[in-house]
Amino acid sequence: MSNYGLRIDIVTGFPKLLTSPLNESIIRQAKKKKLVQIKVHDLRNYTRDKHKTIDDTPYGGGAGMVLKPEPIFECIDDLKTKRNYDEIIYLSADGEQFKQKTANALSLKKNLILICGHYKGIDERIRTALVSKEISVGDYVLTGGELAALIVTDAVVRLIPGVLGDGESMLTDSFQEYLLDAPSYTRPPEFRGMKVPDVLLSGDHKLVEQWRQDQRLERTKQRRKDLLQ
**How far is residue 205's CA from residue 182's CA, in Å, rounded to a whole number?**
15
CB 183 within 8 A of CB 199: no
- In this prediction, residue 166 carries a pLDDT of 60
Distance CA 146, CA 43 (A): 13
The SS3 assignment for 17 reads helix
What whole-number distance in Å separates Cα of residue 21 and Cα of residue 217? Answer: 33
Global confidence as pTM:
0.88
CA distance 54 to 229: 45
Task: Please tell me the predicted confidence (pLDDT) of residue 178.
Answer: 81
Strands (E), 34-141: 36-42, 55-56, 66-67, 87-97, 111-116, 133-136
The domain locations on the chain are 6-157, 172-228
CATH superfamily of 6-157: SPOUT methyltransferase, trefoil knot domain (3.40.1280.10)
Quote the pLDDT of residue 1.
Answer: 44
Rama region for 203: left / alpha / beta (φ>0; ψ in -120 to 50; rest): left
Q: DSSP secondary structure string, 178-208?
A: SSPPPP---S-SEETTEE--HHHHS--HHHH
What pLDDT score was predicted for residue 3? 73
Is-cis flag, bond preceding 21, omega within 30?
A: no
Rounded CA separation 67/71 (Å): 9
pLDDT values of the chain reduced to their tens digit, one per residue, 229 residues: 457 899 999 999 999 999 999 999 999 999 999 999 999 999 999 998 889 999 999 999 988 999 999 999 999 999 999 999 999 999 999 999 999 999 999 999 999 999 999 988 999 999 999 999 999 999 999 999 999 999 999 999 999 999 997 655 555 565 667 899 999 999 999 999 999 999 999 999 999 999 999 999 999 999 999 999 8
- Specify the pLDDT at position 190: 96
What CATH number does the domain located at 172-228 have? Answer: 1.10.1270.20
- CB 97, CB 136: distance < 8 Å: yes
Task: Please give the pLDDT value at position 196.
Answer: 96
Contacts with 106 (C-beta within 8 Å, 6 or more apart), sequence order: 87, 112, 152, 156
103 closest CA partner among 77, 69, 137, 80? 137
Note the pLDDT of residue 119.
Answer: 87
The HSE-up count of residue 137 (CA atoms within 13 Å, CB side) is: 19
